[in-house]
Amino acid sequence: MTHFSLLHHDTRFFMKPLHILMALGTACFWGVNFVAIKMSLESFPLFFQQSLRFFLVSFPLIFFVPRPRSRSSWKVVVKFSLFLWVLQLSFITLGIKYGAPPGMVSLLIQTKTIVVIILSTLFYHYRPQQHEILGIVLSLTGLIMIAHSVAGEEVRLAYLLVIPAILSVSYATLAFKSEEGNPSKPLSITVWCAFFAMMPMFLMSLMIEGPSKILHSLEHFSWRSMFALLYSVIFATLAGTSFYVFLLKRYGPERIVPFNLLIPFFGTITSTLIYGERFTFIQAMAMLLILGGLLINQVRRPFRLGSLTLSAKLKGLPLSSTSGEPCDYRS
Q: Where are the domains of the chain?
A: 26-300
User: Residue 268 and residue 276: Cα distance in Å, rounded?
Assistant: 10
pTM of structure: 0.75
CA distances from 274 to 188, 221, 234, 306 (A): 33, 19, 20, 51
pLDDT of residue 154: 54
**Which H helix or E strand runs over 3?**
strand 3-6
Which whole number is the average pLDDT over 177-181? 51
CA proximity to 68, closest of 53, 56, 79, 54: 79
CA dihedral 283, 286, 287, 290 (to 10 degrees): -160
pLDDT of residue 137: 87
User: Residue 259 and residue 254: Cα distance in Å, rounded?
Assistant: 10
CA proximity to 252, closest of 196, 187, 197, 303: 303
* Residues ≥6 apart with Cβ < 8 Å to 203: none
Which whole number is the average pLDDT over 36-54? 95
Q: How many residues does the chain have?
A: 331
**Mean pLDDT highest for which of 225-239, 269-283, 287-301?**
225-239
Which whole number is the average pLDDT over 101-124? 78
User: Residue 77 and residue 79: Cα distance in Å, rounded?
Assistant: 6
**209: pLDDT strictly greater than 50:** yes
Burial of residue 294 (number of CB atoms within 10 Å: 0-12, 13-18, 19+): buried
Strands 327-330 and 3-6: antiparallel
User: Residue 296 and residue 136: Cα distance in Å, rounded?
Assistant: 9
Amino acid at 128: P
Task: Share the mean pLDDT of the chain.
Answer: 78
**3: pLDDT strictly greater than 50:** no
